[in-house]
Amino acid sequence: MSELKLPELFGSRVFNEETMKERLSGACYQAWKRCVTDGASLELAVANEIAGAMKTWAVER
């Protein structure tokens, strides 16, 4: 078994923006981005899609 290197391990298990971009629909990702950058409200449907994607991602790990 190879040794884990800290820079490779650090942040490797985070549901980050790159992961969101891969797993969310384009519309959902853009709505989330508007929420972060402009302070727009996050609609329940968008929040539910994010939560579902995050749960699926976590269970895969």
Q: How far apart are CA 54 and CA 50, in angstroms?
A: 6
Higher pLDDT, 10 or 55: 55
pLDDT in tens, 23-47: 999 999 999 999 999 999 999 999 9
Question: Among positive and negative, which fits the CA dihedral 41, 19, 21, 54?
Answer: negative
Please enumerate in sequence order all residues whose Cβ is within 8 A of that of 50, keeping only pairs 6 or more positions apart, or say none: 20, 24, 28, 32
| The pLDDT value given to residue 47 | 97
CA distances from 23 to 1, 11, 33 (A): 30, 17, 14
pLDDT in tens, 7-24: 777 777 889 999 999 999
| The pLDDT value given to residue 25 | 97
| The pLDDT value given to residue 35 | 95
